[in-house]
Amino acid sequence: MPSMVTEPYLEFDSMTELPDSHAWAPIDHDPVGRDNMEEAVPVIDLEDPNVFSRMADACRSWGAFQVTNHGVPPDVLDGIERAGMDLFSLPLERKLRAARSPDGVTGYGVARIAPFFPKRMWSEGFTVIGSPADHSRQIWPHDYSFFCDIIDDYKKEMERLTSKLMGLILGSLGATKDDTNWESPSDCDAIQLNYYPICPDPDRAMGLAPHTDSTLFTILYQSNISGLQVLEESSATWIEVPPLCGALVIIVGDLLHILSNGAYASGLHRAVVNRTRHRLSVVYLHGPPSGVRVRPLPGLVDADRPPLYRPVTWSEYLGAKAKYFDKALSCVRICAPPMKGLMA
């Protein structure tokens, strides 16, 4: 694995120029797709009678879609947005009290994929798995429970929605929950808060570099500021996912690609930044419970369609991602050349 970035954290708000450490090659900020619906990431009403076929089309061609009628109350979305802003608006020294430890996963820090890129990203993140109480207490010693309560409310809504979405996605593949050997909710799901400060030179800065998520699927709330883009593969074009009031973005992760035996594409996505508006995204990363091995669904495997991937747990897959990043899927692909040092 590449060595970790060791430079000090940046006080973004004090920067009037983009430092060389954060200057990427110019970024195309004029993605197509805003007005041309043929080129737009689909928006799916979860009450649509054709929801299975609409999801199947979106997952095959985009690896992403937006959902409406998802049932998450607006005050829960507003609450987590406010809590995220409270957190990231604090002085750096306060946030660093909850810094992610070098071998840890949760807490405050730069994007975990940072070591794979030569330049640094214009963003900060905070990851929660399980209870955020310890980190919250470090940041707000006298009033840490407000943050925990908001995270708790959000988590409950996401657990309800992941269960619903899992049923629909399995339905879109012609399967049911009985075809998997696990139940929602998962004990390993993560909440990731991402903050993208105002940037003096957004054409050369990258909020979050292109990546796929290691999840079954990801539920992303981006409020009303644009920044998320998905790669449209056939034209190799980055397409903006426009913020829609109250909608949530669903991104197909690598484990759903495996479960679908390659039928659904994991969506390659990135976040760009803005000269005048800071942006917050709240990301719910959903995977299987610990110990469960994800494998291609039995109904999608036959003599003509052999399994493309071997069974893998989420933690094994995250280990491969941390080591090989965008080559992680090929590590678990059957018949692919084995990569040195990968788990049995």
Ligand X SMILES: O=C(O)CCC(=O)C(=O)O
Q: Which is nearer to ligand L37FFZMX, 112 or 164 (CB)?
A: 112
Inter-residue contact 231 to 268 (CB < 8 Å): yes
Reduce the DSSP state of residue 64 to 3 states and report it. strand
∠ at Cα 198 (190, 273), nearest 5°? Answer: 65
Which of 213, 232, 240, 254 binds ligand X (CB under 6 A)? It is 213
Query: How near is the Cβ of 306 to ligand X at its closest, in Å?
Result: 31
Give the C-alpha separation, 136 to 142, whole Å.
Answer: 10
- Extended strands (E) in the chain: 43-45, 64-68, 107-109, 124-129, 190-196, 208-211, 217-221, 228-232, 237-240, 248-252, 269-271, 279-286
Give the C-alpha separation, 329 to 29, whole Å.
Answer: 29
Query: How near is the Cβ of 190 to ligand L37FFZMX at its closest, in Å?
Result: 4
Which of 84, 227, 243, 253 binds ligand X (CB under 6 A)? It is 227
Give the C-alpha separation, 107 to 191, whole Å.
Answer: 11
Which of 127, 162, 186, 192 binds ligand X (CB under 6 A)? It is 192
The H-or-E segment that residue 77 falls in is: helix 74-88
Binding residues vs ligand L37FFZMX (CB under 6 A): 105, 111-113, 127, 190, 192, 211, 213-215, 285, 318, 321
Which of 59, 250, 263, 283 binds ligand X (CB under 6 A)? It is 283
Q: Which is nearer to ligand L37FFZMX, 42 or 115 (CB)?
A: 115
Which of 136, 194, 214, 266 binds ligand X (CB under 6 A)? It is 194
Give the C-alpha separation, 233 to 146, whole Å.
Answer: 42
Give the C-alpha separation, 141 to 135, whole Å.
Answer: 10
Size of the site for Fe ion (CB under 5 A): 1
Q: Which is nearer to ligand X, 208 or 329 (CB)?
A: 208
Cα distance from N-terminal residue to C-terminal residue, the chain = 19
Quick check: 254 binds Fe ion (CB under 5 A)? no
Piece of 20-28, 96-104, 128-136, 220-228 that binds ligand X (CB under 6 A)? 220-228
Reduce the DSSP state of residue 283 to 3 states and report it. strand
Which partner in ligand L37FFZMX, ligand X, Fe ion, none is near 40 (CB below 5 to 8 A by kind)? none
Which of 269, 286, 295, 321 binds ligand X (CB under 6 A)? It is 269
Catalytic residue list contains 279:
yes
Q: Which is nearer to ligand X, 184 or 266 (CB)?
A: 266
Active-site annotation holder among 54, 120, 270, 279: 279
Inter-residue contact 136 to 196 (CB < 8 Å): no
Q: Which is nearer to ligand L37FFZMX, 120 or 321 (CB)?
A: 321
Q: Which residue is nearest to Fe ion (CB)?
A: 213
Chain centroid to CA 180: how far?
Answer: 22
Tokens of 289: 């419970």
Looking at residues 203 to 222 of the shown chain, list those that interact with Fe ion (rule: CB under 5 A). 213
Binding site for ligand X (CB under 6 A): 192, 194, 208, 213, 220, 222, 227-228, 269, 271, 281, 283
Q: Which residues are catalytic?
A: 279
